[in-house]
Amino acid sequence: MHKGDHRAILKRIARRAMLERGLLPDFSPEAITQLDTINSPAGTGGGEARDLRKLPWASIDNDDSRDLDQLTAAQPLAGEDVKILVAISDVDALVKTGSPLDQHAGHNTTSVYTPAMIFPMLPEKLSTGLTSLNLNEGRLAIVIEMTVGADGSVLGHDIYEAVVRNQAKLAYNSLAAWLEGTGPVPAQVAALSGLGENLRLQDRTAQKMKRRRHEHGALSLKTVEASPRFEEDVIIDLDVKEKNRANDLIEDFMIAANSVTSRFLASRGLPSLRRVVRRPKRWDRIVELAMEEGYPLPQAPDALALEHFLKEAQARDAIRFPDLSLSIIKLLGPGEYAADIPGERQQKNSDGHFSLAVRGYSHSTAPNRRFPDLITQRLLKAVLLKQPEPYSGPDLETLAAHCTREEDAVKKVERQIGKSAAALLFESRIGQRFDSIVTGAGPKGTWVRLLHPPVEGKVVSGYQGLDVGRRVRVRLVHVDVEAGFIDFERVF
């Protein structure tokens, strides 16, 4: 039994797992030397940036988030139109292409989030300080401006540099409770005249945008996420994280901003790095799952038909819906990055985002913690500042493959440490039985996720005939904290 400091155990395992997968848990001496020369935030862009510090900007993120990449604000227009503004931290202003800090960011390609420790893509002096859109601090940003119509469609857009100021640091849970009418107004909202009304306007607009997306085939998926609860550095339980109205607000604005970014670059004839979720290869199993629920789907992949099935399934059985969602997500397959090069676009009919029902989609809204977003920001700035393109088409093709590969490595590390945390919790529960759902089935093995607590593990005995989406009773037979293994056998 691993007793004592579970945080220290998980930190040690995380560092080892990163190194085993070729990731860098520490910054190089050269990167630290460069960091020592950066002691103030970026300037105001040589006087070209607009001054938007008086707008009611607010950040909305997790309770403990300190790397604030984006702010949002809204302005009512004539009729029912609304102007939505999304400000993205100008990270490139301090982290230049090819510098030691950029090389580290480009190596890992993303921050690594583990239960005991975050390994940031950029040092915290930047990501939570000088390049973070912190409360009451003037910061240089790239603003994505969208005019949204009464039906939730984006009628027009613009992108430009601006100086912004975060006037309220808000958290998803407390803001959602107020928006949904189940909690009091957050103190920072109450303290700033007009902010509450502005957030209500943002919420109404986001809901319209969400409805429109789903009418066009964006998928309504709901999954269960769990994180360890520590008490004096010992894991005592797993807390389930519920998505809420404030999450939806940010998600819908970021999806729209990422789509606008892609269109903006395409209209200027620039290559770009796109996020792609291709048509699912295991559509046949999705059809089988739907038929088990009495719902026929077409034999060819059809996002709108799948969305209709998901909505019906959620209305019929909301409790089991997260299990169905997880199965669909596994069968849809992972996302990847792809280079979009002028002159080749018509040949890439599959390079859309199947789950979001959008054709062009570029990650752009999290440059403090995701390298593809920093790449996209540099492409945008090349247009805005009339500078040479920072990346060629072949450069982006190489970067797309690298970012996809490293993202996969990061996800494997995060999953492993999540399982190590669950193994610490489950060490004393060998022999206990649980209800579960099959989340993976293939040549490499069969995996299940327990219904409660939502822990995933491998079925090492009795897995024959199991496929994704099936409910099964299992018994815990073994855990390996160091490797992150949790093994079950099927109970007949």
Domain definitions of the chain by residue range: 6-277+358-416, 283-334, 430-490
The first and second tokens of residue 435, run together, are 């209800």
Q: What is the DSSP string of 298-321?
A: -SS--HHHHHHHHHHHHHH-TTTH
Angle at 362 between CA 366 and CA 19, to 5 degrees: 55
199/250 Cα distance (integer angstroms):
11
Beta bridge partners, 73, equal: 85
Q: Where are the alpha helices (DSSP H) in 317-459?
A: 321-332, 371-384, 393-426
Task: Tell me, rounded to whole angstroms, the distance of Cα 30 from its chain centroid.
Answer: 30
Indicate the pLDDT class of residue 241, thresholds 50, 70 and 90.
confident
Does the pLDDT value for residue 492 go beyond 80? Answer: yes
State mean pLDDT over 327-343.
89
Percent of the chain with pLDDT over 90: 80
Q: Is 248 helix (H, G, I), strand (E, B) or coil?
A: helix
Contacts of 61 by beta carbon, 8 Å cutoff, 6+ apart = 68, 169, 170, 171, 172, 250
Indicate the pLDDT class of residue 326, thresholds 50, 70 and 90.
confident
**What local confidence, expressed as pLDDT, does residue 242 receive?**
82
Residue position matching structure tokens 């970067």: 399
**What local confidence, expressed as pLDDT, does residue 27 receive?**
98
Does the pLDDT value for residue 191 go beyond 70? Answer: yes
Identity of residue 103: Q
Taking only the tens place, the pLDDT of each residue in 391-402 is: 999 999 999 999
203/250 Cα distance (integer angstroms):
9
Taking only the tens place, the pLDDT of each residue in 444-476 is: 899 999 988 889 999 999 999 998 889 999 999
Taking only the tens place, the pLDDT of each residue in 247-294 is: 999 999 999 999 999 999 999 999 999 999 888 889 999 999 999 989
347/107 Cα distance (integer angstroms):
30
**What local confidence, expressed as pLDDT, does residue 346 receive?**
45
Nearest to 345 by CA among 279, 256, 254, 265: 265
Cβ–Cβ contacts within 10 Å for residue 239, how many? 11
Taking only the tens place, the pLDDT of each residue in 87-130 is: 999 999 999 999 999 999 999 999 999 999 999 999 999 999 99
Indicate the pLDDT class of residue 45, thresholds 50, 70 and 90.
low
Identity of residue 472: V
128/38 Cα distance (integer angstroms):
14
Indicate the pLDDT class of residue 342, thresholds 50, 70 and 90.
confident
Mean pLDDT computed over every residue of the chain: 93
For 430-490, CATH gives 2.40.50.140
310/209 Cα distance (integer angstroms):
19
Taking only the tens place, the pLDDT of each residue in 13-42 is: 999 999 999 999 999 999 999 999 999 999
198/443 Cα distance (integer angstroms):
52
- 268 to 23, 262, 340, 394: CA distances (angstroms): 35, 10, 13, 18
- DSSP E strands in 242-335: the ranges are 272-276
Q: Which of 1-10, 182-191, 477-486 has the lowest mean pLDDT?
A: 1-10
Q: Look up residue 323 and give its DSSP letter.
A: H
C-beta of residue 225 within 8 angstroms of C-beta of residue 241 = yes
Percent of the chain with pLDDT over 70: 97
State mean pLDDT over 213-219.
90
Phi first, then psi: give them for residue 45, nearest 5 degrees: 80, 30
Nearest to 327 by CA among 304, 350, 306: 306
